[in-house]
Every structure is written in C-alpha cells, then in structure tokens.
C-alpha cells in the first residue's frame, strides 16, 4: 500500500476511482499458470499538494519487470517513433552527437539505442529485464540489468562516468520511487547535459475518460504541473515541453540540471496555464472524468452485443497491449465476448491474457471470414492495424474503443 504521494510525500490523498483487482497486465499466462494468478487493486488517488495522480497500491517492480514481454521492436509504429526520437536527440544537440555519451533508462531490447548508434558509438542502457538485455546484446547494445535508482545510478557513474544525454521513455511513470530515479539522473547528467523523458499525458487521457493507461506498471499519471513540482525537488529544470500523439497522447519534456543557465521556453508557461484552465488542478474536474470511466463498460458491451448479432462468426480482438488488457478486465470481457486475440508479439502467442484468459495467437491462427468483427485493443496503433487488415484483404468491421467508441468498416 502506497498512501503517500510519491512526488511530495503528502499524506492527504483523495480517491478518484477504482478499476477493481486486476493481475499485472504484461503477465501473459500458460494454461497451467492460471491457478496461481493474483490480482492487485487498481485505485487512483489525487494529491492536492502537487496535483500528482497515482495508484494507491504498488506491485513490487521485480514482479513486473524482471521478465518482461513488451518489446520496443514489436510494433512498426513504435519502431518509427524510436527512429524519430533518435533524430530528435541528434537535432537538439548544439554540437555533434558523435562525441557525446548517451544513456537510456529502461532501454528494453535496445531498439532506440541501436538507432542512436548511428549518431554516436557511446551508448549504454539500463533495464531490469534479463530477457530484454539478451535481446539488446544481439543489437550490439551494452546493457546493465538493474532498476535505475539513486544507488544504482551512482554505481553506473563510477564505471561509465557522467552522460551528455539521458533518455527515458515511459519509465518515470512506471517507477514507484521516481524521485530516486530523477535524483540518480541528476547525478548521472554531466554539466551542460540534457535529459528527455516521455510518458502518457494525463490531461488528454484520464481527463477525457481514457482509463486504459491505468495499470500496475504505470504507477503515476503526470500533468506538467506535477512534473514541474518534482523536477524542482530533485535539482532538475524543465527547458521545453511538447505534447505528442504517441501512446494516445504523451508529453515530451526536455530537462537540464538546475545549475544550467538556459531558460525555459514559453511552452512551459503556456501548458501550465492551459492545465489550470482545464481544471487539472481541481479534484472536482477529475471527479467528472471518473463518471465517464464508470459508464464505459456498459457502453462497450452494448455495442459488442449489437455487432455480434450481425456477424456470422465470433468477435476477434486485435492487439494485446497493456492498455488492451486493462480494457478487457475492467469491462469483464472474456471468451464469451472474444474468441481469441491476434498479436504480433511472439512471446505472447500461445498464452492467455491476464485476468480474463483469452487466447493470444498470430495472424495465421485461423481463417478470417468475410464480415468479421474486430475489437481494436491496440487503438493507439489504429492506422497500422487498418493497413494490415487491408493488406490481407480482410472485410469486416473494426470497433475502436478510444478516444471515443467508433465503428469503422474495413475492406
């Protein structure tokens, strides 16, 4: 139980809503493992002191990340995003990146660092997943297998020295001790260095009723207000921030040490003002978003029931990402609703989705009939999925849950 704010240590947290007890969303199961599956509460709390939104209960990170089945390279859209990130870092550097040292926190299978190697040979990653470190090694990426916190960061600096660039994509929100992570990054960042982080942007997700970014790995849901508060606490400063479409809308924040002379761009002040205007700092606004979330399961089930009556074959799920597993569990969908789920990640195929135990398979699992209905669980990769369906000349209907419930004809 973590009923203290992870950003400011405030103890007067207000409950927003609960999604119930759900198993870790990336813990895909073999049939023999179902009997040992454990669910954990998913309840969100709001801190009135620093406006951070966080889970009330935290699953030990070693249970979530030591053998991780989410691969950076599993999606073509994500690969393209990581290429763009590498180019962004290179363009942002005032001097040639080839002379700079780059660290990625949460480096996964080394995909991003393999792209950054086109700009500099001095790259290193840190990730707690042993299985992913092995994948990174195949790409020629040196990886330390550990959680990046203040202590492990200090050890890394003793071995590698400080870094000119630190990149952390969807890592800060996933780290229960994120203040320790940021303090470690402050110590590992060389004078004049830069750090870039990305994560799901709470204003465009939860505030709009998109609850599928709430899962055990994703301990925190940041606004720019809550990020700005945390950075000041650890000796970092926000230089620039932009909102990007990745993962259903994310923030991208450029950071420097607090002793760096560069001044923040106007984007920081602008976004802080927009958040306040939208009510992001007011718990009453968040309570209204909770009502949207509570209404969603009945809306989705009604639409699935309607489409099932029109289809000659059972509905199939498309994609088995973490966000999709959240949707399945919160809406209590199972094999009565979806026959199976198609996912490109080989590590997930032949296993069952956490909690609701729907089989995961590849595209060639079974012939797909004309008029097939799909529930797009990887809705943030909508364009990529529609392209795949068209390439396979599949005709039917695609039900897309977010950003709003939408029915799309394909073929």
pLDDT score at 74: 67
Output the pTM of the full model. 0.88
pLDDT score at 77: 80
pLDDT score at 320: 96
The per-residue b/e assignment along 348-381, b for 16 or more CB within 10 angstroms, e otherwise, is: bbebbbbbbebbbbeeebeebeeebbbbbbbbbb
Helices 178-188 and 224-234, axial angle in degrees (round to 10): 60
Q: Cα separation of 360 and 28, whole Å?
A: 9
pLDDT score at 205: 85
Give 10-residue mean pLDDT values along the chain (411 residues): 85 93 93 94 94 90 68 79 94 83 95 94 92 87 95 98 97 95 98 96 88 91 97 98 90 98 96 93 88 95 94 93 96 96 93 98 90 95 91 94 94 82
The domains of the chain are located at 62-284, 298-410
Residue pair 70/305 in contact by the 8 Å Cβ criterion: no
Cα distances (angstroms) measured from residue 231 to each of 101, 102, 178, 390, 404: 22, 20, 11, 45, 33
For 298-410, which CATH class?
alpha beta
pLDDT score at 94: 63
Question: Which CATH architecture fits 62-284?
Answer: 3-Layer(aba) Sandwich (3.40)
Strands across the sheet with 372-376, in order? 360-361, 341-342, 316-318, 372-376, 396-400, 406-410
pLDDT score at 68: 61
pLDDT score at 78: 85
pLDDT score at 310: 86
Q: Cα separation of 124 and 132, whole Å?
A: 14
pLDDT score at 2: 56
Say whether 298-410 and 62-284 share the same fold.
yes
- Supply the DSSP string of 290-322, one letter for each residue: HHHHHHHHHHHHHHHHHHHHH-SS--EEE---H
- Supply the DSSP string of 168-215, one letter for each residue: EES-GGG-TTHHHHHHHHHHHEEEEEEEEEEEEBTTTTGGGT-GGG-B
Angle at 339 between CA 65 and CA 402, to 5 degrees: 65
pLDDT score at 69: 62
Residue pair 8/14 in contact by the 8 Å Cβ criterion: no
Residue pair 363/391 in contact by the 8 Å Cβ criterion: no
């Amino acid at each position: 139980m973590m009923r203290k704010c992870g950003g400011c240590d405030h103890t007067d947290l207000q409950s927003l809503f609960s999604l119930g007890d759900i198993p870790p969303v990336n813990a895909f199961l073999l049939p023999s493992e179902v009997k040992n599956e454990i669910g954990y509460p998913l309840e969100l709390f709001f801190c009135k002191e620093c406006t951070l939104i966080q889970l009330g209960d935290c699953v030990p990170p070693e249970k979530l990340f030591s053998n991780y089945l989410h691969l950076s390279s599993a999606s073509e859209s994500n690969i393209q995003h990581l290429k763009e990130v590498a180019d962004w870092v290179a363009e942002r550097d005032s001097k040639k990146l080839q002379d700079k040292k780059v660290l990625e926190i949460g480096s996964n299978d080394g995909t991003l660092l393999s792209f950054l190697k086109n700009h500099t040979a001095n790259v290193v990653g840190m990730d707690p997943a042993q299985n992913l470190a092995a994948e990174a090694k195949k790409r020629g990426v040196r990886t330390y297998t550990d959680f990046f916190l203040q202590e492990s960061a200090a050890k890394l600096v003793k071995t590698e020295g400080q870094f000119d660039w630190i990149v952390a994509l969807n890592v800060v929100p996933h780290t229960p001790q994120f203040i320790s992570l940021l303090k470690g990054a402050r110590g590992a960042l060389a004078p004049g260095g830069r750090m870039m982080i990305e994560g799901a942007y709470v204003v465009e997700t939860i505030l709009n009723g998109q609850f599928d970014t709430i899962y055990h790995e994703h301990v925190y849901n940041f606004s720019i207000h809550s990020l700005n508060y945390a950075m000041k606490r650890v000796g970092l400063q926000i230089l620039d921030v932009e909102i990007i479409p990745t993962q259903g809308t994310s923030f991208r924040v450029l950071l420097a040490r607090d002793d760096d002379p560069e001044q923040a761009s106007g984007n920081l002040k602008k976004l802080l003002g927009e958040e306040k205007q939208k009510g992001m700092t007011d718990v009453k606004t968040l309570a209204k978003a909770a009502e949207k979330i509570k209404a969603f399961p009945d809306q989705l089930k009604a639409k699935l029931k309607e489409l099932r009556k029109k289809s000659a074959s059972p509905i199939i799920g498309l994609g088995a990402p973490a966000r999709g597993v959240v949707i399945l569990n919160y809406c209590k969908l199972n094999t009565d609703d979806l026959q199976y789920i198609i996912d490109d990640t080989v590590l997930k195929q032949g296993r069952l989705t956490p909690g609701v135990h729907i089989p995961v398979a590849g595209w060639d699992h079974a012939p797909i009939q004309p008029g097939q209905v799909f529930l797009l669980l990887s809705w943030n990769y909508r364009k990529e999925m529609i392209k795949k369906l068209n390439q396979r000349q599949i005709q039917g209907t695609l039900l897309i849950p977010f950003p709003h419930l939408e029915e799309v004809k394909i073929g």
